[in-house]
Structure formats: structure tokens, C-alpha cells
Amino acid sequence: MSSNRLGKRTSNLNYLFRVNERIPEQDIRLIDENGSFVGIMPTSQALNIAREKERDLIEVAPNANPPVCKITSWSKFKYEYTKKNKKSANKGSQIKEIWLKPMTGVGDLDHKVRKIKEFLDNKCKVKITVKPGRDRRLDKSFYFEQIDRVLEMLGGCAEFEIPPKMEGKCVYAIIKRKK
């Protein structure tokens, strides 16, 4: 779980948003359930309007002057908020890793390239790591050639975000989908 501005987990939204009587301000900027601006009014009047519509009054922008409150269902608001945060947390931020050896066979390489294409289609970046195999006396140029071979097999749908680099005994590169 990620932390929010109050240091609590996002699963407990009661600490993130003030609802109904927990809104201390005298005047607020009110938005109705359709997203339309109603006006600036006292909190008590806005709370009465929300209760007439059998909804809740939720403070969505506490730092605005005056604070912005919205009339909506609290359970619906929590659902939409967590759904939006999960979607933004997963968006293109993942890096998947594929390990190769300098002498990886053609069949295995084809399978790994298919997996890389799958990852790229899901908007993930892919870290390709070439690790030493049984014959560790191979020239390091084989490691770089293996990464170039994979990029060739991808058929121009990917490009380097980080070009091949040596890290200890391994060579790695990070690729992303070409725009």
C-alpha cells in the first residue's frame, strides 16, 4: 500500500477526506453530484442540501480558499478514488526482467522475445540481462551481441532506454516500446 499525505494507508480514506460534520470551515465552495459549481455557501447549508439528496458532503480540496466540497455518495467516492489510484500506480511503471546467457539457443531466444513483446504491449519496460553461462571465458562482446540480436528480433518495435552496460559479470539494457 502507498502512503498518503497524512502518513496513513490509502485503504483507510477516513483519514484522507473530511465528510459531513467533520468539515470545520464556515464557508465552502460547493459542487453538486453532476460536477456543476453551485456556489460559495456556509457548510451547514451545504450539508442540508446533501441530506435532502440523501448524499454525503465530502471535502475534496481542503487547501483551496474556500475549501471545495462535493455532494456524492461516500461509498461511491471511496470506490472511484481507490480505482483511480490503482490505475495510476500501475501505469507504465513496471520493469520486467528477462535473463539470457551468451549462448542461449534460437528456440529459447524466440520464446523470450515473445515474452518481451507481451511485456511491451502491456506498457512495461524490459530489462534484458545477459549473465555468464558455463563457459565464463567467453569474450564480453558475445554478451552485447546477444542484446543486439534480441532487439533485432523485436523488429523495430522497441528502443533502448538505457543502452547495454556492463555491471559486474553481467551486461544489461533496458528497452521500451518505440513511439
Residue 132 has a pLDDT of 83
Whether domain 95-177 has CATH 3.90.1150.10: no
The half-sphere exposure of 64 on its side-chain side, counting CA atoms within 13 A, is: 12
Residue ranges of the chain whose pLDDT lies below 70: 1-15, 87-93, 135-138
DSSP 8-state secondary structure symbol assigned to residue 22? G
- Residue 128 CA, chain-centre distance (Å), reads 22
- CATH class for domain 13-90? alpha beta
Q: What per-residue confidence (pLDDT) applies to 127?
A: 93
Task: Please give the C-alpha separations between residue 118 and each of 5, 74, 125, 126, 157, in angstroms, as whole numbers.
Answer: 35, 38, 11, 10, 12
pLDDT given at position 18: 83
| Sheet containing 56-61: order of strands | 37-42, 27-31, 68-72, 56-61
Q: Would you say 141 and 102 are in contact if contact means Cβ atoms under 8 Å apart?
A: no
Instruction: Report the pLDDT value the prediction gives residue 3, as an integer from 0 to 100.
Output: 43
Cell of 104: 542461449
Separation CA 116–CA 173 (nearest Å): 13
Output the pLDDT for position 10. Answer: 44
For residue 9, the model assigns a pLDDT of: 44
Q: What pLDDT score was predicted for residue 156?
A: 82
C-alpha grid cell for residue 122? 502491456
Hey, where are the domains in the chain? 13-90, 95-177
Tell which residue, 119, 126, 132, has the closest CA to residue 169: 132
Please tell me the predicted confidence (pLDDT) of residue 8.
41
pTM (2 d.p.): 0.50
> Cα–Cα distance between 86 and 6 in angstroms, integer?
18
Query: What is the residue type of 168?
Result: G
Q: How far apart are CA 126 and CA 113, in angstroms?
A: 11
